[in-house]
Amino acid sequence: MRNLHIAVERFPIAGKFTISRGAKTEAVVVVASIEEGGARGRGECVPYARYGETVDAVCARIESVRAAIEAGADRGRLQTLLSPGAARNALDCALWDLAAKSGGVPAYALASLPTPAPATTAFTISVASPEEMAAAAARANWRPLLKIKLAGAGDPARIAAVRAAAPDATLIVDANEAWTEADLSSHLEACAEAGVALVEQPLPAGRDAALARIQRIIPVCADESVHARQGLADLADRYDVVNLKLDKTGGLTEMLAMAAEAEAAGFGLVIGCMVATSLAMAPALLLAGRARFLDLDGPLLLERDRADGLVFEGSVIHPASPALWG
């Protein structure tokens, strides 16, 4: 007999995490646990207001399929019960974990993927004044890959300040939809002058057609503009890379399918995350070897991670232990 448990957990952020849409000081996550035959599978998600999600609504969506899950619904059935989003992610990853624990077979083997290897993640610098961002970049300038959050007006000065403070790091920037068509070219030129390797979601989703009309002097990555496979076809003339996140795709099942389709269409991959614990990162690590950039620094931004969390050596993440997930 199966039992589903739903829990809301809070983890303080070290300092403050700030993007163009605002700041937060804690990560609020929803954990779905499925117990069956003495085994327990877990999945963690982050309800995201940008996509119209709240903690209560995500919990209610998980609760709405309790009967089906406890009656034995598998990952395939789950795809028809819930649309992409945080609720389906928690359940899907819990079902992967449960299958691995029940069968004694690692999740990567169940997915016919190679054995995970240690991989280097980006480390995020929150948006602030150029001086504040330079100071944060200087403290992190020993890390090989920095992700710089931007906010629109004043971004060329932020980019230049960070580059001066971290001259040897590879930089990727994330505008979180904050740029406009009017400043697109000048901001891209500022990125090029600083040697930025990737620009993520410069324009608002649904208002990004200008990306097809310019010469993209730096690879541009879609984040808010794409969630699951059905949105990929609309990106071909505007983006070079897609950011895959479990909370957008609604779990590992769709992420795997989307990764394959995106690669077949010629897109590069970024494997990203919301600010969350190691439990939310672990399933995404299965795709680390296929990513142009890995952005799974959520646990590094927290004051504390959960027990049996991922092992970080600097910016290098080691694969999850079975005690954590998979």
Print the SS3 string covering the chain.
CEEEEEEEEEEEEEEEEEECCEEEEEEEEEEEEEEECCEEEEEEECCCHHHCCCHHHHHHHHHHCHHHHHCCCCHHHHHHHCCCCHHHHHHHHHHHHHHHHHHCCCHHHHCCCCCCCCEEECEEECCCCHHHHHHHHHHCCCCCEEEEECCCCCHHHHHHHHHHHCCCCEEEEECCCCCCHHHHHHHHHHHHHCCCCEEECCCCCCCCHHHHCCCCCCCEEECCCCCCHHHHHHHCCCCCEEEECHHHHCCHHHHHHHHHHHHHCCCEEEECCCCCCHHHHCHHHHHHHHCCEECCCHHHHECCCCCCCCCEECCEECCCCCCCCC
Measured N-to-C along each axis, helices 55-64 and 86-103 cross at an angle, to the nearest 10 degrees, of 50
Q: Which amino acid is at 283?
A: P
Catalytic residue among 101, 147, 245, 248: 245
The one catalytic residue in 101, 147, 149, 248 is 149
Catalytic annotation present for 245: yes
Are 309 and 298 within 8 A, CB to CB?
no
149 is catalytic: yes
Token pair of 98 as six digits:
């449960």
Instruction: Please enumerate in sequence order all residues whose Cβ is within 8 A of that of 207, keeping only pairs 6 or more positions apart, or say none.
Output: none
The catalytic residue positions are 149, 245
